[in-house]
C-alpha cells in the first residue's frame, strides 16, 4: 500500500487535484486521501468544485481560513502536522503556488515525508508576488517535480535540481477542463450563456484578484473605468473574487456602470468554463485562466507586468497588458487581428495518467 495525501486549499487547487485523485483510485496500490486546508471556504470558492468535479468530501478538513501570510501559513502547518502524524503517509502531493502548497510541503518535508509538486518550475522572477516565494520554496524541498512545460524544466535545472527528479507531464488543469466541458453539450452551454444575458462570442469575460491590481484604490478604479468603457462596445461580465469584492466595498468605489458591465459573484467551475469557451476574449490576472484561454484558442489579455506561464505567450493566445496599452489591444482583438496560437505539448487531458505512472515507480517513505 502507498498512502498519498493530496493537498488542496484554494480555488485553483481543486481542478488540478481531481484528475490525479481519479487516476490514483484506479491504480492500486496507490491510496489517495484528500486534505483540504480551508484556505478558501465560501461555497462557490470551494464546495462547488467538489460537486462539479464529482469529488468525494475531503478526508481531512483543516478549517484554517483567512489571515496574514504568516498567520495562514502557520495555522495550516500546525493543523497539517497533526494529520501527518496520524496518517503517516508515504507521500504528500501539493499543487500550484498558494500558501497551502508552501505550508504543507514544508511540514511534510520536516517529518521526512517525501513531497511531489504538481506544476513545478514555473517562475515569474517577480519576488513581489507571494506565489513566487511559494513556488521556489516548494520546489526546493520537493522530491518529485512535475512540470507543465519546458520552461519549467529549464528553470529547475538552472536552480540546481537533479534532472532525475524532474518529470515533464503536461498541464493537469487541462485534464479537468476537457473532461468537464465534454460533459456540457451545446444546448446546455447556450443556456448558461443566456442566463447571464449574453450571446456566444459576444462578450468579454474578466477576472482580477492579484493584490497588485486590486489592493490599491486608484489602480482598481482605473481598471474598472476601462472595463466600463469597454462595455459600451461589447458586454463585459466580471465574476468578482472575494478579495476584489471586499476592496471595491472598502474603497467605496461607486458603481455607476453601464448595464452591459455586469459585476457578479464568482461563478461555479462548470459555468465558468462555459463562459470561457463562448467568450470573445478574456481579461485576467489569473495564472490558470491564461492557460485555459490558450487551450481554448481564445484571445487573452493578462493585466500583469510578467507571467510565470510564458508558453501562453510564445505558443498560445495570451499577451501581457497594462493600462497604457490595453485599450489598443482590445481594439485589435475586436477587429479580428489576433494571433492564432497553438496548444502546448502534453496539454492533452492525460497529465494525471503520466503522473500516476511516475508515482507507481516511486519508492516513497518506508515506515
Ligand atoms: C489566493 C492565492 C493566490 C491565488 C488565489 C486564487 C496565496 C498567497 N494566494 O489568493 O495565489 O491566485 O488564491 O483564487 O495563497 N476570502 C473570502 N472567502 C474565501 C476566500 C477568501 O472571503 O473563500 C477573502 C478573505 O477576505 C481573504 C481574502 O479573500 O482574506 C484573500 O484570500 P487568500 O486566500 O488569503 O488570498 P487570495 O487573494 O484568495
Ligand atoms: N474559476 C472558476 N470560477 C470563477 C473564476 C475562476 O471556476 O469565477 C476557475 C478557472 O476556470 C480556473 C481557476 O478557477 O480553473 C483559476 O483560479 P484563480 O484565478 O482563482 O487562481 P490562479 O490560477 O490565479 O491561481
Among 315, 282, 312, 276, residue whose Cα is nearest residue 300? 282
**341, part of any domain:** no
Q: Do residues 134 and 189 share a domain? A: no
Give residue 366's pLDDT: 47
C-alpha 139/C-alpha 205 separation (Å) is 32
Q: How many distinct structural domains can be found in the chain?
A: 2
- Cα dist from 175 to 95, 111, 114, 223, 270, whole Å: 14, 32, 25, 32, 14
Q: Do residues 193 and 252 share a domain? A: yes
**177, part of any domain:** no
Mutate to test the pocket of ligand 1, among 94, 207, 242, 269 (most ligand atoms within 8 A of CB): 242
292 CA → ligand 2 middle, Å = 10
Q: Domain residues for 220?
A: 185-334
The protein residue with its alpha carbon nearest to ligand 1, atom 20, reads 40
- Determine whether the shortest distance from the Cβ of 99 to ligand 1 is under 6 A: yes
Q: Do residues 239 and 211 share a domain? A: yes
**93, part of any domain:** yes
Q: Do residues 118 and 244 share a domain? A: no
C-alpha 31/C-alpha 141 separation (Å) is 23
C-alpha 303/C-alpha 116 separation (Å) is 31
Q: Do residues 321 and 205 share a domain? A: yes
Among 299, 301, 331, 303, residue whose Cα is nearest residue 232? 331
Full-model pTM = 0.98
Q: Do residues 127 and 199 share a domain? A: no
9 CA → ligand 2 middle, Å = 13
**178, part of any domain:** no
Q: Do residues 81 and 27 share a domain? A: yes
What is the residue whose three cell numbers read 492533452? Answer: 348
Q: Do residues 302 and 224 share a domain? A: yes
Q: Do residues 196 and 149 share a domain? A: no
C-alpha 176/C-alpha 291 separation (Å) is 12
- Cα dist from 51 to 14, 66, 195, 294, whole Å: 11, 23, 20, 26
**339, part of any domain:** no
**131, part of any domain:** yes
Ranges under pLDDT 50 in the chain: 366-367
Q: Three-state DSSP class for 353?
A: helix
Helices (H), the chain: 11-25, 47-52, 69-87, 99-110, 130-141, 150-158, 172-181, 186-195, 211-214, 217-230, 242-250, 269-278, 287-296, 311-314, 326-334, 351-361
Q: Do residues 242 and 269 share a domain? A: yes
Give residue 234's pLDDT: 98
C-alpha 298/C-alpha 339 separation (Å) is 10
Q: How many CB atoms lie within 10 A of CB 263?
A: 17
Ligand 2, pocket residues at CB < 6 Å: 11-12, 15, 173, 207, 239, 266-267, 269, 272-273, 286-289, 292
Give the three cell numbers for residue 217.
Answer: 484604490
As to burial, measured by CB atoms within 10 angstroms (0-12 exposed, 13-18 middle, 19+ buried), residue 258 is: middle
Question: Do residues 66 and 243 make contact, with C-beta atoms less than 8 angstroms apart?
Answer: no
88 CA → ligand 2 middle, Å = 32
Give residue 1's pLDDT: 58
**290, part of any domain:** yes
Give the CATH number, domain containing residue 231. Answer: 3.40.50.2000
The protein residue with its alpha carbon nearest to ligand 2, atom 19, reads 286
Enumerate the active-site residues.
209
Cis-peptide, bond into residue 29, ω within 30° of zero: yes
Q: What share of the chain is helix, strand, coil (3-state, %, to 5)?
A: 45, 15, 40
As to burial, measured by CB atoms within 10 angstroms (0-12 exposed, 13-18 middle, 19+ buried), residue 252 is: exposed
**84, part of any domain:** yes
Q: Do residues 290 and 233 share a domain? A: yes
Q: Do residues 125 and 147 share a domain? A: yes
Give residue 367's pLDDT: 47
Question: Do residues 89 and 113 make contact, with C-beta atoms less than 8 angstroms apart?
Answer: yes
Amino acid at each position: 500500500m502507498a498512502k498519498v495525501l493530496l493537498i488542496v486549499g484554494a480555488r485553483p487547487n481543486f481542478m488540478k487535484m481531481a484528475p490525479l485523485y481519479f487516476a490514483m483510485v484506479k491504480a492500486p496500490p496507490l491510496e489517495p486521501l484528500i486534505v483540504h486546508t480551508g484556505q478558501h471556504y465560501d461555497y462557490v470558492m470551494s464546495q462547488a468544485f467538489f460537486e462539479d468535479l464529482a469529488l468525494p468530501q475531503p478526508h481531512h478538513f483543516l478549517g484554517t481560513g483567512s489571515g496574514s501570510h504568516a498567520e495562514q501559513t502557520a495555522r495550516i502547518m500546525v493543523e497539517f502536522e497533526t494529520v501527518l502524524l496520524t496518517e503517516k503517509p508515504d507521500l504528500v502531493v501539493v499543487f500550484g503556488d498558494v500558501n497551502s502548497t508552501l505550508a504543507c510541503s514544508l511540514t511534510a518535508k520536516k517529518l521526512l515525508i517525501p513531497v511531489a509538486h504538481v506544476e513545478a518550475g514555473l517562475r515569474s522572477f517577480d519576488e513581489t508576488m507571494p506565489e513566487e516565494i511559494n513556488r521556489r520554496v516548494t520546489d526546493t524541498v520537493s522530491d518529485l517535480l512535475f512540470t507543465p512545460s519546458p520552461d519549467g524544466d529549464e528553470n529547475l535545472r538552472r536552480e540546481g535540481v537533479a534532472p532525475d527528479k524532474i518529470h515533464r507531464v503536461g498541464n493537469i488543469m487541462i485534464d479537468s477542463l476537457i473532461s468537464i466541458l465534454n460533459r456540457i453539450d451545446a444546448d446546455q452551454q447556450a443556456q448558461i450563456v443566456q442566463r447571464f444575458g449574453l450571446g456566444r462570442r459576444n462578450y468579454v469575460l474578466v477576472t482580477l484578484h492579484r493584490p497588485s491590481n486590486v489592493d490599491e484604490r486608484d489602480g482598481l478604479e482605473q481598471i474598472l473605468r476601462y472595463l466600463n468603457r469597454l462595455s459600451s462596445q461589447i458586454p463585459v461580465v466580471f465574476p468578482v473574487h472575494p478579495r476584489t469584492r471586499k476592496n471595491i466595498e472598502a474603497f467605496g468605489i461607486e458603481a455607476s456602470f453601464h448595464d452591459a458591465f455586469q459585476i457578479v459573484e464568482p461563478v461555479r467551475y462548470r459555468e465558468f468554463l462555459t463562459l470561457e469557451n463562448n467568450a470573445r476574449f478574456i481579461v485576467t490576472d489569473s495564472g490558470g485562466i491564461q492557460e485555459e484561454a490558450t487551450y481554448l484558442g481564445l484571445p487573452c489579455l493578462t493585466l500583469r507586468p510578467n507571467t510565470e506561464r510564458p508558453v501562453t505567450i510564445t505558443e498560445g493566445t495570451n499577451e501581457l497588458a497594462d493600462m497604457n496599452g490595453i485599450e489598443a489591444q482590445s481594439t485589435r482583438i475586436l477587429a479580428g487581428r489576433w494571433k492564432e496560437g497553438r496548444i502546448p505539448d502534453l496539454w492533452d487531458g492525460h497529465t494525471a495518467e503520466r503522473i500516476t505512472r511516475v508515482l507507481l515507480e516511486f519508492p516513497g517513505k518506508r515506515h
